[in-house]
Amino acid sequence: MGKLTGKVAFITGASKGIGEGIAKVYAKYGAKVILAARSNRIEEIAENLRANGYEAIAVRMDVSNKGDIERAVECGIKAFGKIDILVNNAGVCKLGKFLEMSEEDRDFHIDVNIKGVWNTTKAILPYLIKNNYGKIVITSSVTGDMVADPGETAYAMTKAALVGFTKSLAVELAQYKINVNAICPGYVLTPMAEGIAKQSDEKSPDKVLKGIADAVPLKRLAEPEEIGELAAFLGSDESNYITGTQIVIDGGSTLPETISVGI
């Protein structure tokens, strides 16, 4: 028996990167997984999971479209009859200098990173309340609430907002035995991190990724499955007494106080 046996998990942004890693780890621990994203890669991932004996379905949806979310949730309920865990993981990041950033780019971050989490949670929460049990796991970031680099105003703003959302919702939902927690990763080796490296230095993105790794005390980026393990803990009964908190998983990247003092 795995720690998620008997549970049904709805995971957004499961077509690649961290969400794909979470889906694989959830399936490994026995959860039935509903993989949600826009691209048809989720179908391939769900198919592979089923081929390995796990229960998984793919539902295509854009988290910035309320109709899409409602249809996807209906599909998930039709397939597995309930939802116990919501992993709000889908997110976007486009670097841009504040004065040069268009309103469209600002709203792109708000629509996906904030409204996407808001609307997906609204659509799924009635099912969790019906269970009188549930787990909501939100992929926030160390960026915004704890640290930031130039060019991240829109991204940092939206990721910090999710920490506030997590705290208030956790208090509100405690009466239903629903836990709400945020994961705050440092850099994770995913298409998003590779994209940021490319935006930062188009010619040498590998150099940027190496620079990131060198600045992390553990000297590497995280693997998506490592975030999956933390998400599985927060989705399981092992974390029943943890709610409204943010857990940093960053290889120590937010620890150094300076780059010049020390022995």
Please name the residues in contact with 260: beta carbons below 8 A apart, sequence gap of 6 or more: none
Chain centroid offset of residue 136 CA: 11
For ligand NJP, the closer CB: 129 or 157? 157
Residue type, 256: P
In the complex, least distance from residue 250 CB atom to ligand NJP, rounded to whole angstroms: 8
Please name the residues in contact with 240: beta carbons below 8 A apart, sequence gap of 6 or more: 179
Q: Is 132 in the site for ligand NJP (CB under 6 A)?
A: no
Q: Is 127 a catalytic residue?
A: no
For ligand NJP, the closer CB: 84 or 250? 250
Q: Out of 151, 187, 231, 233, which residue is the one contacting ligand NJP (CB under 6 A)?
A: 187
Rounded CA-CA distance 13/89 in Å is: 6
Asked if residues 239 and 181 have their Cβ atoms less than 8 Å apart, the reply is: yes
Q: Is 153 in the site for ligand NJP (CB under 6 A)?
A: no
Q: Out of 119, 141, 166, 239, which residue is the one contacting ligand NJP (CB under 6 A)?
A: 141
- Span interacting with ligand NJP, options 45-53, 183-191, 233-241, 254-262, rule CB under 6 A: 183-191
Per-residue binding letters, 71-100, with ligand NJP (x by CB under 6 A): ------------------xxxxx-------
- Span interacting with ligand NJP, options 36-44, 47-55, 146-154, 233-241, rule CB under 6 A: 36-44
Asked if residues 65 and 115 have their Cβ atoms less than 8 Å apart, the reply is: no
* DSSP characters over 146-173: TB--TT-HHHHHHHHHHHHHHHHHHHHH
Please name the residues in contact with 11: beta carbons below 8 A apart, sequence gap of 6 or more: 19, 22, 23, 26, 33, 34, 35, 36, 87, 89
- Span interacting with ligand NJP, options 47-55, 96-104, 121-129, 134-142, rule CB under 6 A: 134-142
Candidate list 155, 176, 187, 241, residue with the active-site label: 155
Rounded CA-CA distance 198/186 in Å is: 18
For ligand NJP, the closer CB: 134 or 185? 185
Rounded CA-CA distance 145/132 in Å is: 31
- Span interacting with ligand NJP, options 6-14, 127-135, 146-154, 230-238, rule CB under 6 A: 6-14
Q: Out of 5, 39, 132, 204, which residue is the one contacting ligand NJP (CB under 6 A)?
A: 39
Asked if residues 92 and 112 have their Cβ atoms less than 8 Å apart, the reply is: yes
In the complex, least distance from residue 207 CB atom to ligand NJP, rounded to whole angstroms: 17
Q: Is 190 in the site for ligand NJP (CB under 6 A)?
A: yes
| Strand stretches in 54-157, DSSP E | 56-60, 85-88, 134-139
Tokens 């479209």 map to which residue?
65
Binding site for ligand NJP (CB under 6 A): 12-19, 37-39, 62-64, 89-93, 112, 139, 141-143, 185, 187-188, 190-193
